Every structure is written in C-alpha cells, then in structure tokens.
Amino acid sequence: MTRAFFATLAIAAALLLLAIWALYPLLVAAGAAWRGRRRRAVAATASDGELPTVTAVVASADDAATIRGRVDDLLASSYPAAKLRVVVALDAANGRATPADFAGAGPRLTVVVGDPPGGKAATLNAGVRAADSELLVFTDTHQRFHEDAIMRLVEYLRHEPRMGIASGSLDLAAREPGAPPTLADRYWRYERWLREAESRLHSAVGVTGAIYAMRRALWAPLPAGLILDDVYTPMRLVLAGHRVGFVDAARAVDGRRFAPEQEYRRKVRTLTGVLQLCAWLPDVLVPWRNPIWLQFVFHKLLRLLTPYIALLFALGVAGVAVAFLVALGPRPVGVLAGVVLLVALLPPARPLLRRARGLLTWGVALQAAAVTALANGLRGRWDVWRR
C-alpha cells in the first residue's frame, strides 16, 4: 500500500470524526440561532392557585437512609408544598428498603413496591401509577436539586405548550482544587450545550434521567427490561408530534465522582440502551416517521462508530509515518527518536505526559464502552444493569 493510500485513509477518517463531533453540533447551534428559539429563563410569576400539581417520582434500589435524604431534598423545594408530593417506588427485585421503613413519613410521601420482575422500568411504572398530578418530575436517588429546579421545569412546560417533556441540567461534583477536568467532565459540558441547542432547533435527543419533567397525560407504561427510559420516553413523544425541551436553569447536582472503570460500565449501559431503543422503537430509524431523524443518527448512532473510525485514522497515520521513516533511512530516524526521547524526559514535559496519560485512560474507557455496547446490541444482550 502506498503512502497516498494511508494519507487518504487518515484524512477521510479525520473528516468523518469532525463531522460527528464538531460539524454536526455547529450546524445544530447555527440552526437554533437562526430559528431564534433561545428563551430567557422564565420567572415564577404564577400564583400558587394557578400552578399545576406535581409529583416527583423516585425509582430506587437503595437503602432507606439514602432514599430519605433524597425525599427530604425534594420536599425542601421552593415549589408550593400544597402542590408537590413525592412517590418513591422500591425495586421489587433488588431493593434494599421496604415501605415499612418510611412509616410516619407524612402525607406528602407515598411509597410503593415496583412491579415484577423488577428493574428501573417496572419500578417507574408502579411509581407513576401512584401519581395523580398534572405534571411528573423524575429523578434518581443520589442527586440533589437546586431549590428552584422544580419550579423552573414547571414554568418552562407552562410557557411552552408544544413541549411534552423537558430536561433539566445536571452538574457533576466539583473536582479537587487544582485538579484538571477529566475527559468525562469535558464530554458532559459538551453534551449539555448540544442538548440545549437541539431543543431550540426542534427537540433534544433524550433527557437527563436525574432531572426531567413531563405532562402526566402523555405518560405510557415502559416495557419491562427497558434500559433508557430517559431516551425511550422522549423519542416516543417526538414520534407522536411533541417536542423535547432543555431547561439549563433547572439544576441538579450529582455529588459522586467516578473512576474510569465505573464510567466504562455506565457508558456500556447507556450505549447498549441506544441499540435496544432502535430494536424496540424502530420508527426512530425511519426518516419520514422521526422528525429529528438526522439528529438521532448523528447524536446517538454515529457516535457508536467512533472507536472504529479512530482506529482507521490511527492506521492511516501509522502508514504515513512508516513510509516517511523508511524514506529517511536509519541514521536520521535514530537521531529523531533520540530528540523525541530527550524532550519527553525533560522536567517541563512530565506534567503534560501525566495529563495526557489521564486523558488517554478516560478515552480508552469511553471508546471501549462503545465497542462492548455494539457487541451487546448485535447479540441482543440487554441485561446490562450493574450496581
């Protein structure tokens, strides 16, 4: 194979990666700006009597003390107490708490046991059945809401009648002082920015499971074994003609920090869930049925190809480098290798090498998750929940 072949391979792979990760987001942002969909945060101007009733639904397999902390945080919301209640649904298969653990918790809390066979989807179904409010707010056990988060979500849905569901914004726990952001931190900032732009253009491709709200009338029971309720439900609504919003001012905070191996498991689960969605809700793959088909393809599907495209890019670069080194001959190559080694060993280079090693570790973990998820999808292996 010639140097021209490897150069062409590297350039083609680089352009495809740029299209997925840079060109598509920039086009979405430009389209959103052209449509003028940006809205200022809406102030809470309605009186208590005009505000809709809200139920915060928590599906959990955690212990009672952890759940009680989450409930206390939700009930401390600035949303009027008379309009807000909480339903906790305990996982029937894996839960570590029982309804008896919450005896005497007060009239604003309802605790139910999730449907068999267990799992998040079956647990959510039981939780929503116990809710009779106009709006539903969904969250997980380990996050904490800003005091006005529920009000922000409610006001957004009140002022945007075409929005059937809206996501809040999740902040990750603060890093240690002076610690550089991990690749996961950078990715999540990028993801929030993209979802906000997509929602202004038409709809975000999914919501954040830790904080989102929807109209109770639009709820439909989830299929047992579903991995991603926070993508399945929004896409089902999009197919039905509704839109998916994003409310940056509605904030939740996750106090946990994850190591690369933990993030790997989380990404395997979410990326496998995308493939499960395609199998269980196939209309998302049909351009004339899915009004945000192009967004779904670029945001969800083509990203799964990133490790393979990156491998082709590396192969192309390696081929060009080998051809270049062969052309140089042995003596210049030895001199070049010595210079590179000397620079790498200099004290100023060591922090950069440590940082590069950290980014490489995160990058490998995230791309390995995409490979594993694709293998799961091809085998139809959907049982990917791990604590």
* Single-letter amino acid code for the residue at 87: V
CA dihedral over 119, 251, 68, 214, signed as positive or negative: negative
Does pTM top 0.85 for this prediction? Answer: yes
pLDDT in tens, 26-74: 999 999 998 864 444 444 455 566 899 999 999 999 999 999 999 999 9
What is the chain's length? Answer: 387
What pLDDT is stored for residue 153 in this prediction?
A: 98
What pLDDT is stored for residue 4 in this prediction?
A: 86
Contact 184, 263 (CB under 8 A): yes
- Nearest CA among 139, 384, 120 for reference residue 254: 139
Within 8 A by CB and 6+ apart from 316, the residues are: 6, 7, 8, 9, 10, 11, 12, 13
What pLDDT is stored for residue 136 in this prediction?
A: 98
Residue ranges in the chain modelled with pLDDT below 50: 37-44, 344, 349, 353, 387
What pLDDT is stored for residue 357 in this prediction?
A: 59
pLDDT in tens, 105-123: 889 999 999 999 999 999 9
